[in-house]
Each structure stands twice: as C-alpha cells, then as structure tokens.
C-alpha cells in the first residue's frame, strides 16, 4: 500500500510538472522611452505604439542632457539626493528632495526622476538629469522595467502621422544652439511622407522663424494600387516624382506621372492651361512644387482607371489605400465592335472562296473544260480496268517450278 501511495504521489508530481510546462507564456511587450531634448518631451511606446507623452525639464545650456542610446539601469523609490558639488550634503526622501519620490538611473549620475519644483518643467533647468512632474514619473515608473531602452535625441523638426491619418510637423527653438535648419532641411523630413508638395516653402520659412513647437497639419497621404500592383515613385528626365495620393482641402490628389508610367499611357501636361491630356481625355491638373496631380474623380477620364479610397483589410487599424482597376470605356467598345465586324467579314470571304473552288457546276464550265474532264475520267477508268485484269491474270497463271512433276490430262 505504501508503495502504491509513493507511485501515485510520483505520478501526481509529474502531472503538475507537465501542466506547468504546457502553460502559455504571457506575451512580451516591447517598451521604449524616446526623449527629444529640443522639444523637451518624452514619449513612451509599447510594441511601437505611442502610449503617453510627458513634458520634461532638462539640463541647462552649460550642463545639457546627454544624447545617445541608454537604458534604465536601476529603479529606486524614495531616493536620497546627494549634492554633486558637495557629496557630504544629502537630502532624504520628502518634500525638500529635488529628486521627488522616484529615480531611474540611465547613465552614471544621470537619471529620470521627479521634482519638488513643478514650475521648472518645460525648461532647461537641471544639471543634466531628466525631470518629470511627480504624477508623471510615478506613472512611468510603474510601466517600465530595468533594461527598458531610453533614446535621447535633439531634433528641432518633428514629423508624425496622427490617429486620423493626417501628417503634422513641428519646429522647435534651438535651445542648445546645436541645430541650424532651413527650408530644404524641413522639406527633406516631409518628403518621405509624400506631403512635401502640399506645404509651400514660404509657409515653412515662416514656421522656422516662429519655431513655436505648434503642429501644422498638411494632409493625409495614402499608397496607390492599380490592378493589384503598388505604384512607386519614378524618375523621369532626372526629375523625381512622388507616388503618394494626398487628401487635402477635401480634394483627393493623385500623382499622375507615376500612374501614367505604370499604365504605359502617354501624358501631356499643358502648364499654361493647367490641363492634363491623354488618349482617353483631358482634365484639370495641379502643379505643386514640380509635382503634377489630378483629382481622383477625374482618373476615369484621364487614365481610364476606376476606383477610390478603400480599407486595406477587414481590420480598421490596417488603414486605407487608393485602389484602381482598368475600366472598359466606350472607345474600347467601339474598337472591339469594329474588330468583331472585320473578323466576321474575313470569315465570310474565306467561306465564299472555299465554296467557289469546291462546288463548281457543269454550267459554270466551258465546253473545253467539259471535254477535258470527260477524257480524264475515261483515262482513269481505262487504267483501272487494265490494272484489275493484270492482277487477275497473275493470280490464275502461276509459274511451274523446275523438276516438279506435271499431271497429264486427256488429250
């Protein structure tokens, strides 16, 4: 009985072990902290998705917050502050502590922490550390772990796609005096999003002058597919043409040059008239910073393609795309109709020729043709009879072999 109990206990132990090994592991969440010293903002990401944005107080001009790629090395609740200039002077956790109630070390004496001076948030005020409002730092502290990456950069120009698909850009003041920017530099940031042509150089220059960190919304860019194939940017005569459709000011703008290239359709841009022409038709065109567009509603007229803005998939989060398909227009119908008619005529002519050659009556023949046909038939009949008679004779009269006895009949 004792042996049975031991065996049962052993099996139970194995069952527990197997159950533990087969349990599903919790999904891994990739966390990241991004700090832009120019904007004095921190963004917290989970699996690449923005979860929170916090205002910061950063290092003074002469003691700037370092830039680079770091990670959280240590987390401390209710830290003790030690004066960097006088290590003998310490302040315990409490209302007088400059570190607040949370500390996250990222490098040496540099860290992310709270503050007892909330009015300092938004300025260049520290000895290089990253200050946060107490409620913000406590929230962040609860979400991140030791090892979470911390990326610190200095970018005066920030471009982002917001939730509704709009592209916004910001220009921040040069607090550290590290980054001189111009219009071309800003256009370089906007171009990959496909919206650079929709923000004038004059507007960009004014925005650089203001450097107020406020958002400017330009438009909503989308990819394009024609007959299931993605449309890409092209270069024609050394000139680059973008391939993004852009929804701006309630108009759906289509980049006509990449589309015409993909469809192998000759395109004519009449700059003086602001019109676009192909073999299909003529529509109004729009030139924006050397890029040429048409209204998506006119695509059927100009390029013989039909479609519009559609969901990429059943999942809303996958976004949208402009999808088009080659249309069947009236000109195509006329061509097909003419082709079918010509084919029918050709077939009828061929049948008529065959009938004329194969079915000729005696009435259609001349007297000489008739005599020739009669003589030919007679010659063929005569040859056939002679051949038949010869074969019959050969069968009846067999040769007698040498030294073979011959029967004698009655004389």
- Reply yes or no on whether 349 is catalytic: no
Three-class secondary structure of residue 183 per DSSP: helix
Residues with Cβ < 8 Å from 276, sequence gap 6 or more? Answer: 256, 267, 268, 269, 270, 282, 283, 284, 285, 292, 294, 302
Catalytic pick among 129, 195, 246, 305 = 129
Residues with Cβ < 8 Å from 214, sequence gap 6 or more? Answer: 170
> How far, in Å, CA of 155 to CA of 169, rounded?
12
Helical axes 183-190 vs 201-210, angle rounded to 10°: 110
- Reply yes or no on whether 294 is catalytic: no
Three-class secondary structure of residue 258 per DSSP: helix
Residues with Cβ < 8 Å from 39, sequence gap 6 or more? Answer: 155, 158, 170, 172, 213
> How far, in Å, CA of 372 to CA of 85, rounded?
132
Q: Tokens for 303? A: 């390029």
Buried b (16+ CB within 10 A) or exposed e, 308-342: eeeeeeeeeeeebbbbbeeeeeeeeeeeeeeeeee
Catalytic pick among 113, 156, 207, 244 = 113
Q: Pick left, alpha or beta for residue 68 (phi over 0 → left; psi -120 to 50 → alpha; otherwise beta).
A: left
> How far, in Å, CA of 218 to CA of 207, rounded?
13
What is the rounded end-to-end Cα distance, in angstroms, of the chain?
130
Which residues belong to the active site?
113, 129
């Amino acid at each position: 009985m004792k042996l049975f109990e031991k065996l049962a206990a052993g099996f139970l132990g194995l069952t527990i072990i197997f159950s533990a090994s087969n349990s599903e592991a919790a999904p891994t969440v990739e966390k990241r902290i991004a700090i832009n010293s120019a904007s004095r903002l921190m963004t917290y990401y989970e699996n690449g998705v923005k979860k929170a944005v916090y205002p910061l107080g950063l290092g003074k001009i002469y003691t700037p917050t370092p830039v680079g790629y770091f990670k959280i090395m240590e987390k401390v609740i209710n830290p003790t502050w030690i004066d960097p200039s006088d290590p003998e002077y310490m302040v315990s956790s409490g209302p007088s502590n400059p570190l607040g109630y949370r500390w996250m070390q990222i490098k040496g004496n540099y860290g992310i922490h709270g503050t007892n001076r909330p009015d300092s948030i938004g300025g260049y005020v520290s000895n290089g550390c990253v200050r946060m409002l107490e409620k913000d730092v406590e929230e962040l502290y609860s979400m991140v772990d030791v090892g979470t990456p911390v990326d610190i950069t200095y970018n005066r120009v920030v471009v982002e796609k917001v939730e509704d698909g709009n592209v916004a850009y910001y220009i921040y003041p040069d607090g550290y005096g590290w980054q001189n920017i111009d219009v071309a530099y800003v256009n370089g940031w906007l171009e990959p999003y496909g919206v650079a042509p929709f923000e004038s150089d004059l507007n960009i220059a004014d925005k650089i002058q203001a450097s107020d960190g406020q958002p400017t919304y330009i438009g909503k860019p989308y990819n394009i597919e024609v007959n299931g194939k993605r449309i890409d940017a092209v270069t024609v005569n050394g000139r680059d043409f973008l391939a993004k459709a852009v929804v701006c000011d309630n108009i759906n703008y289509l980049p006509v040059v990449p589309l015409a290239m993909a469809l192998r359709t000759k395109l004519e841009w009449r700059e003086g008239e602001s019109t676009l022409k192909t073999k299909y038709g003529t529509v109004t065109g729009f030139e924006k910073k050397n890029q040429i567009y048409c209204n998506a509603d006119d695509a059927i007229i100009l390029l013989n393609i039909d479609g519009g803005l559609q969901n990429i998939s059943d999942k809303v989060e996958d976004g949208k795309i402009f999808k088009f398909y080659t249309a069947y227009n009236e000109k195509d119908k006329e061509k097909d109709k003419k082709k079918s008619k010509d084919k029918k005529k050709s077939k009828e002519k061929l049948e008529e020729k065959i009938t004329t050659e194969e079915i000729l009556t005696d009435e259609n023949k001349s007297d000489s043709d008739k005599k020739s046909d009669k003589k030919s038939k007679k010659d063929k009949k005569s040859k056939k009879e002679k051949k038949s008679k010869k074969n019959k004779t050969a069968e009846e009269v067999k040769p007698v072999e040498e030294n073979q006895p011959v029967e004698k009949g009655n004389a």
